[in-house]
Structure 1
Amino acid sequence: MITPVLYTIQAVQPAAHLFEVSLRLAEPDPAGQVFSLPAWIPGSYMIREFARNIVSLSAEAGGKAVPATKLDKHSWRLPAGIQGPVTLRYTVYAWDLSVRSAHLDQTHGFFNGTSVFLAAHGHEDAPHRVDIRPPKGLEDARWRVATSLPEAVGEKGAAERYGFGLYRADSYDDLIDHPVEMGTFTLGEFEACGVPHAVAITGRHDCDMGRLLADLKPVCERQIRLFGEPAPMSRYVFLTTAVGDGYGGLEHRASTALLCSRADLPHVGMDEATDGYRQFLGLCSHEYFHTWNVKRIKPAAFVPYRLAEENYTRLLWAFEGFTSYYDDLMLVRSQRIGLDDYLKLLAKTITQVHKGSGRHKQSVAESSFEAWTKYYRQDENSPNAIVSYYTKGALVALLLDLRLRAESHGARSLDTLMQALWQRHGQTGIGVAEDGIFALAAELGGEALAGWLQELVEVTAELPLEQALRRVGLKLAWELASPAPGIGVRTVAEGEMLKIANVFDGGAAQAAGLSAGDVLVAIDGLKATAGSFDKLLARRLAGDSAKIHVFRRDELMRFEVELRAPLADTAKLAVDPDARANAIALREAWLA
């Protein structure tokens, strides 16, 4: 029997944000055992150097200290010739309130395995165990544990559901794909297609758990039935942290870590769903869809993950973009939102893509490949230089879905393609080749369809949205976001200051010489603030000249800016009252 790699983890100084971790390895490499921490976490495509948060590390064997030599930014090696078990002990600083890393204080603890569990090289495929221990100094706090890690049933010290104790994983890859929340969270449970689901909410909130669970259940069931029962997980957990202002999610094989604004959660007595609640349900739907698309159906470049370096693929438009398409679509299919709400959400996505001039410079395939250096490292020029593989990828999915439906008279759709991907790749573990989506499209709709799809993702031409939407009886129109003239900037308020965050290509501000980072002081001698800026522009006409004073660094500068007419760049979708019966039938089948 293979001896498991055994970890313990404990919050030893919650006020100092410190976890203490130990790793016991029964049979170290006699040539010198190497340990390392991942440099990135799957689903978030950026090198994050998690090892920088290891505060101290020591090793011992046979009751004696042994040196652990650091090899590089995230790796250590023990001396050759060590016999018998070795134990590493190290502390991890955890103060990143996000879904990607680890966070600890007196109110709760959260961690992803990629932030706290060193990998023992050569033993990644061995079974792993982790003993999650109660926090020191908070014995009376009545903390519980929420995670999709299975309890080590039948083993000494096995945890009970939601309790501290021993948990199991089949491998290191399995171990690091189940985040853990500990604290006094609110807990709710439901079943979807026979699979137990749990929602754990950390942070102060007034969530109507009954409504949230009732809304999540049909969304989950629609997704399970899309790919086919049984679901690929035996249990699923939504780990949610509610804060004053926040948004984010990260997928895992049987759970998701979510960050949301507490105001976005439903409250008792809320009649109609708010925009914030619809956004939160969409986030839950998005991360849940990843259970199939990217956690099990993966690009070949991710099989296996290489967690010490970037893993490049041009396919994120399909794995993130298609997921972004289905997240809101599943809300309308499960009747959590109506047609009007769905059209508003889809119009918002169209608007987001259309307003960024970066769509003319970067294809969605290039955006996927350059996620590591561009999408996840955005700066003030990003709207002018890049396109999102989330939003444009979602529109590519829409176009592919509607064309498949129209040309097959409803016999095939993007659902058909996703089901084929699940059967050929998700259930087999075989990664999707870089041209795999195009090849499958050719099978479903012919070479012309595959060539058309490849052109959508490889070039920067405008997407043929109007024609596609007409096929399902919808009309796309373009409206003004505001009747006021503009200068082509996005501003952010920082305390009393109003700062230019982005200067858009081809706008009046760029032509006049204004730059991102400039602090707006006055327009025509009147103080510019977050509350007054738009109002001051609204009192002008296109063609007027405005004198704008800014601070650039510590220097006061003056610019003459010619105001320009606003652009009709905001999408609006509506049902076409003159649509033919076949278009209406396609629309109903698409959304049903």
Structure 2
Amino acid sequence: MPSALPAVEYRIRPANPGAHLFHVSCTVRDPDPAGQIFRLPAWIPGSYMIREFARNIVTLRAELDGEAWPIDKLDKHTWRAAPVPDGGVLSLHYEVYAWDLSVRAAHLDGTHGFFNGTSVFLAVEGRSDRPCLVDIERPDGAEYRDWKVATALPLARGVAGAARPYGFGWYRAADYDELIDHPVEMGSFTLGHFDAAGVTHDIVLTGRHDCDLERLCEDLRRVCEWQIALFGAPPPMDYYAFLTMVVGEGYGGLEHRASTALLCSRAELPWKGMEGLPDGYKSFLGLCSHEYFHTWNVKRIKPAAFTPYDLTQENYTRLLWAFEGFTSYYDDLALVRSGVIAPDDYLGLLGKTVSAVLRGSGRSKQSVAESSFDAWTKYYRQDENAPNAIVSYYAKGALIALALDLQLRAGSDGRSSLDDVMRLLWQRHGQTGLGVAEEGVFDAVREAGGGTLGPKLARWLKKTVEGTDDLPLARLLKGFGIDWQAEPTTAAPALGVKLAAGNGECRLASVYDGGAAQAAGLSAGDVLIALDGLKLGSGKALDDMLARRQPGDEVEIHAFRRDELMVFRLALDEAAADKISLAPSARAPAAALKLRQGWLGHPG
């Protein structure tokens, strides 16, 4: 038992890994005498969708001083205990089903345990601003003797039974907000360490892998040190952990104040003797860089709508293009500016982002400001019509950041940049805790650009994020000595569809606006079974047949819609020139080379 108990005390134990059940208790020493209310968050910061975590609570009961006590459920995620006499100690005991192998919730089996606090720790209404203690317990059984704990939660030093580094036992948090912002990984994981600007960073790898940890630590050290230097040392945390679940196929990340939860494919990790820089490894480094940049941008530089978070319902803002989009710009930029990848590698990654944005007609219908506001119902709940209806505030937001950065640099002869905007936001908002108002980013651009340039670009930015026009990237990049080439991804004519992955069939995932398939009446979900009388068993078979035809050729397609066989006749389209390649110009003038060096070479 702790020697000095705070107002709220939690215990969590992997009680039944085979059944994927955590047992959790929450004890309140001074409950509301009128009836203490408990509530589980409906969403997790950084993932803007109502997820109803309370649906995973299997059983729940209350005790007062060790005896059963009445408790009622008020709504989908709220409970209220019966009024208690003065001096009574109220405890809730509940089971949480944990079988969500993602970065957002909780997962438990015989190989490891992982949880975000939003999935397992009930908030105590009226007590959320008080300190919390949490006892993370080892599961019973000799097979779990070697399990360790990885988390950025502070150790409960001075408390009886306090955890030691990587150990089970008591941890502490200043309040409920901090408690749920430190995910926990437990199991027999692999640990790597590096120091960046005097701060210890851990890489935690759970799952089978053959990772070259020395290579990974060195590459991430350079990226982290560059980001710390951008905002200014010391960083806003005294320890950081990359909690990584390694699987056969997977990708995802979620930021926290001193850690990130990651999901990656084992093929994306570096291995001993690896030559070059494979695309998968570049992708993983970009993911790590993205989540690390969030340590400043969104975890501390926050929209005013998130200060504080209301975890019971949607929190609307039109600024996710700045918090996710600008972060998506800096994630790969940090790789090249820290020297982890070469400029040519960066331009290749940038070309892929441009191509992805240009392939979606939704960009002409939805602005990134609207996409930000509608994240809760559209971006995070995409359906088969998403490419035709929405634009990614991540991807187009990154391109807006690029265009803004290039214009700041070119307009000031390299004296100003987006780096200055980010540092200003950090000083005014990240270091003070003052949320960024909906007009705040425009104000920062106006000030950082200075003179006539700042107000001009602030007006441009506002018009751009609220409009749907394509960005003048080819022209802007030319001023930095970068050539732009647009060409079709394939020489084959196009149907105007996206195929669903796997299942050994040719199923349509999306049908693009204005394409041949849509004009002929094909729809998402249709299964193509034959083209001109020849069987289509896979997407490759379709590609092979289309490669033998020309734009304008008429074809006959047999397809199943539900259990009905249908026939469609259509004329094939010419493939769109939507693959963008970027490369350094061989004839760039000295002024362009100077700007390019300032952009890709070092901050500021």
Matched, 1:192 2:196: yes
Q: List per-residue Cα deviations over 1:59-91 (Å, max 9, x = no partner).
A: 011222111100100000011234321110000
Q: What is the match of residue 39 of structure 2?
A: 36
Task: Map 1:184-583 to 2 at 5 A.
Answer: 184-445=188-449, 446-530=454-538, 531-583=540-592
Task: Kindly provide the amino acid, as one letter, of the partner of residue 25 in structure 1.
Answer: V
Q: List per-residue Cα deviations over 1:350-398 (Å, max 9, x = no partner).
A: 0011010000000010000000000000000000000000000000100
Q: What is the match of residue 50 of structure 2?
A: 47
SS of equivalent residue, structure 2 residue 135: strand
Displacement of 1:136 in angstroms is 2.1
Matched, 1:67 2:70: yes
Which runs of 5 or more structure 2 residues have no equivalent in the other structure? none
Displacement of 1:2 in angstroms is 7.9
Aligned partners of 2:501 and 2:357: how far apart in 1? 24
Q: What is the match of residue 89 of structure 2?
A: 85
Preserved CA contact (<8 Å) 1:206 1:267: yes
Normalised to the residue count of structure 1, the TM-score between the two structures is 0.99
Q: 2:6 aligns with which of 3, 13, 17?
A: 3
Displacement of 1:139 in angstroms is 5.0
Preserved CA contact (<8 Å) 2:152 2:259: yes
Aligned partners of 1:335 and 1:381: how far apart in 2? 40
SS of equivalent residue, structure 2 residue 344: helix
Task: Map 1:133-148 to 2 at 5 A.
Answer: 133-148=137-152
Normalised to the residue count of structure 2, the TM-score between the two structures is 0.97
Cα distance change on mapping 1:310 and 1:354 into 2, 3 Å: same
Preserved CA contact (<8 Å) 1:185 1:201: yes
Task: Kindly provide the amino acid, as one letter, of the partner of residue 117 in structure 1.
Answer: F
Preserved CA contact (<8 Å) 1:6 1:24: yes
Displacement of 1:30 in angstroms is 1.0
Displacement of 1:591 in angstroms is 0.9
Displacement of 1:441 in angstroms is 1.2
Cα distance change on mapping 1:76 and 1:138 into 2, 3 Å: farther
Q: CA RMSD in A?
A: 1.0
Displacement of 1:473 in angstroms is 1.0
Preserved CA contact (<8 Å) 2:7 2:127: no
Task: Kindly provide the amino acid, as one letter, of the partner of residue 100 in structure 2.
Answer: D
Preserved CA contact (<8 Å) 1:239 1:256: yes
SS of equivalent residue, structure 1 residue 532: helix
Aligned residues: 592
Q: What is the match of residue 152 of structure 1?
A: 156
Task: Kindly provide the amino acid, as one letter, of the partner of residue 508 in structure 1.
Answer: A
SS of equivalent residue, structure 2 residue 238: coil
Aligned partners of 1:527 and 1:349: how far apart in 2? 35
Displacement of 1:129 in angstroms is 0.6
Preserved CA contact (<8 Å) 1:61 1:82: no
Cα distance change on mapping 1:585 and 1:291 into 2, 3 Å: same
Task: Kindly provide the amino acid, as one letter, of the partner of residue 476 in structure 1.
Answer: W
Which runs of 5 or more structure 1 residues have no equivalent in the other structure? none
Which segment is superposed worse, 177-186 or 72-81?
A: 72-81
Percent identical: 64
Q: 2:596 aligns with which of 570, 587, 591?
A: 587
Aligned partners of 2:480 and 2:160: how far apart in 1? 60
Q: What is the match of residue 27 of structure 2?
A: 24
Preserved CA contact (<8 Å) 1:300 1:432: yes
Cα distance change on mapping 1:317 and 1:469 into 2, 3 Å: same
Aligned partners of 1:215 and 1:240: how far apart in 2? 16
Displacement of 1:138 in angstroms is 4.8
SS of equivalent residue, structure 2 residue 500: strand
Q: List per-residue Cα deviations over 1:149-207 (Å, max 9, x = no partner).
A: 01111111100000000001000000000000000000111100000000110011110
Q: List per-residue Cα deviations over 1:473-498 (Å, max 9, x = no partner).
A: 11112011000001100112442322
Aligned partners of 2:566 and 2:42: how far apart in 1? 43
Aligned partners of 1:18 and 1:155: how far apart in 2? 27
SS of equivalent residue, structure 1 residue 211: helix
Aligned partners of 1:92 and 1:46: how far apart in 2? 20
Q: List per-residue Cα deviations over 1:450-483 (Å, max 9, x = no partner).
A: 1111111000011111121112111112011000
Task: Kindly provide the amino acid, as one letter, of the partner of residue 311 in structure 1.
Answer: N
Aligned partners of 2:141 and 2:542: how far apart in 1? 51
Q: List per-residue Cα deviations over 1:562-587 (Å, max 9, x = no partner).
A: 11111111111111222211111011
Aligned partners of 2:144 and 2:464: how far apart in 1? 58
Aligned partners of 1:444 and 1:25: how far apart in 2? 48
SS of equivalent residue, structure 2 residue 428: helix
Which segment is superposed worse, 564-573 or 313-322?
A: 564-573
Preserved CA contact (<8 Å) 2:7 2:30: no
Task: Kindly provide the amino acid, as one letter, of the partner of residue 521 in structure 2.
Answer: G
Preserved CA contact (<8 Å) 1:10 1:136: no
Displacement of 1:542 in angstroms is 1.0
Structure 1 runs (4+) deviating above 6 angstroms are none
SS of equivalent residue, structure 1 residue 279: helix
Which segment is superposed worse, 185-194 or 79-88?
A: 79-88
Cα distance change on mapping 1:454 and 1:140 into 2, 3 Å: closer
Q: List per-residue Cα deviations over 1:418-451 (Å, max 9, x = no partner).
A: 0000000000000000000111111223322111
Task: Kindly provide the amino acid, as one letter, of the partner of residue 507 in structure 1.
Answer: G
Aligned partners of 1:308 and 1:53: how far apart in 2? 16
